């Protein structure tokens, strides 16, 4: 668990009398005045003792929260709506003076679970508290505060300190796989259009033998089985392994149209799901986005998606009125591997404006998927 928090100056609220303390002060003053008027030394002494008790309580209350170091331990990144573990470490740096009955309120915790209690921390000792929480929205968490308060001793006064901790927790968007993606992309249709664009490993595991269909490669014919069955039979090997996947996101907003912010947030969640979907194929991924200045993030190891997910976490909606930059990016992209083009704008508005290329293109929006087979130019 990484630590990436520093402490800023605490915002203090000095010791303030509670209702109990105010009543004791009022009674003590009344006893001093009454004892002086009636010349009753015992009553006067009791009043002075009450005032002294309040003064001692104020001093002890102030010392109780003095020289406390608070450190929060948290992961450097998480997904929105995913539970993650945090720890608070409270160290008492006072020499020879323990701290008692410390109440803590961590802004990272749900409201109902923010009330924490450290009953006793010895001088020079520490207390560790572990919790599970979650963050709802994507982004970068820069600041999170912890409020420390105490009514020790006797509950006659209370002191509070709000300490603002700075951090850098990257909150990735929640990963949601486009519902129709697996249905379309795993279909026989797409496997057929990608047959010439991928390298099939004929040395892999043999899946079985089946009847020959038009379009099957001739070199996969199993001649002994063909002779026995009196019809062409072929060997089925491992599924084709793509060279890589390229994902492009754009925010095309035509004239007199409007894209709601919620649609962009939904796209970030679906993009995260698409990244994980491609990573499960265990091939490299290239991710290009308009909100990232059309820069490409290269993922050589699909087990580590921190690069593109960090880009999604920090993404700001930047709609564009033209598809020129998207078309230029697609046309200059090297290779013939499969390409995913994603937008929060409906596919029907922009899919037909993409150039015809010798590569399969999967066009996606928040609710629809369209497959564009490769188009080879004939001489």
Cβ proximity of 76 and 168 under 8 Å = yes
**Residue 6: partners with Cβ closer than 8 Å, 6 or more residues away:** 165, 166
**Residue 315: partners with Cβ closer than 8 Å, 6 or more residues away:** 264, 268, 289, 291, 292
Domains of the chain: 6-16+67-172 (2.60.40.10), 203-239 (no CATH), 240-372 (3.40.50)
**Residue 345: partners with Cβ closer than 8 Å, 6 or more residues away:** 251, 252, 253, 254, 257, 259, 365
Nearest CA to 74 out of 180, 146, 153 is that of 146
Strands 139-150, 339-343: parallel, antiparallel or unpaired by DSSP? unpaired
pLDDT in the model for residue 183: 58
pLDDT in the model for residue 192: 37
Those residues of the chain that have pLDDT short of 50 are: 1-9, 186-205, 379
Running DSSP on this structure, what letter comes out for residue 239? P
Beta strands (DSSP E) in 126-271 are: 126-133, 139-150, 157-172, 208-211, 233-236, 245-250
pLDDT in the model for residue 203: 41
Cβ proximity of 253 and 317 under 8 Å = no
pLDDT in the model for residue 269: 95
pLDDT in the model for residue 5: 37
Please give the torsion angle defined by the CA atoms of residues 212, 215, 219 and 220, in that order, rounded to the nearest 10 degrees.
-40
Instruction: Work out the number of other CB atoms within 10 angstroms of the CB of residue 347.
Output: 19
Instruction: Work out the number of other CB atoms within 10 angstroms of the CB of residue 274.
Output: 26
pLDDT in the model for residue 198: 39
**Residue 229: partners with Cβ closer than 8 Å, 6 or more residues away:** none
pLDDT in the model for residue 207: 55
pLDDT in the model for residue 237: 58
The tokens of 57 are what? 């309580």
**∠ Cα 122 124 130 (to 5°):** 70
pLDDT in the model for residue 241: 64
Cβ proximity of 359 and 336 under 8 Å = yes
pTM greater than 0.85: no
């Amino acid at each position: 668990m990484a630590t990436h928090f520093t402490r800023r100056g605490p915002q203090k609220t000095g010791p303030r009398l509670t209702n109990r303390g105010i009543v004791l002060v009022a009674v003590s003053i009344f006893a001093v005045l009454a004892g002086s008027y009636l010349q009753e030394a015992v009553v006067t002494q009791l009043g002075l003792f009450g005032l002294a008790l309040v003064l001692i309580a104020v001093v002890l209350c102030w010392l109780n929260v003095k020289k406390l170091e608070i450190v929060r331990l948290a992961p450097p990144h998480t997904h929105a709506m995913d539970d993650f573990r945090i720890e608070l470490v409270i160290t008492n740096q006072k020499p020879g003076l323990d701290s008692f009955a410390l109440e803590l309120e961590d802004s990272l915790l749900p409201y109902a679970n923010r009330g924490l209690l450290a009953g006793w921390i010895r001088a020079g000792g520490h207390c560790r508290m572990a919790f599970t929480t979650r963050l709802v929205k994507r982004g970068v968490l820069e600041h999170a505060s912890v409020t420390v308060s105490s009514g020790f001793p006797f509950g006659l006064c209370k002191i509070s300190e709000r300490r603002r901790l700075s951090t850098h927790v990257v909150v990735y968007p929640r990963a949601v796989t486009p519902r129709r993606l697996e249905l379309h992309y795993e279909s026989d249709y797409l496997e057929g259009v990608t047959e010439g664009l991928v390298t099939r490993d004929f040395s892999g595991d043999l899946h079985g033998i089946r009847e020959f269909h038009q379009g099957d490669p001739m070199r996969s014919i199993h001649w002994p089985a063909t002779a026995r069955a009196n019809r062409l039979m072929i060997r089925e090997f491992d599924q084709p392994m793509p060279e890589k996947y390229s994902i492009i996101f754009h925010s095309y907003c035509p004239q007199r149209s409007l894209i709601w912010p919620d649609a962009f947030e939904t796209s970030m969640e679906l993009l995260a799901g698409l990244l994980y979907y491609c990573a499960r194929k265990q091939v490299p991924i290239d991710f290009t986005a308009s909100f990232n200045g059309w820069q490409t993030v290269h993922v050589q190891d699909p087990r580590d998606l921190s690069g593109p997910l960090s880009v999604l976490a920090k993404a700001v909606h930047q709609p564009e009125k033209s598809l020129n930059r998207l078309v230029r990016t697609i046309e200059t992209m090297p290779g013939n591997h499969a390409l995913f083009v994603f937008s929060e704008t409906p596919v029907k508005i922009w899919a037909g404006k993409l150039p015809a290329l010798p590569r399969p293109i999967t066009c996606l929006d928040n609710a629809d998927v369209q497959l564009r087979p490769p188009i080879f130019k004939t001489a």
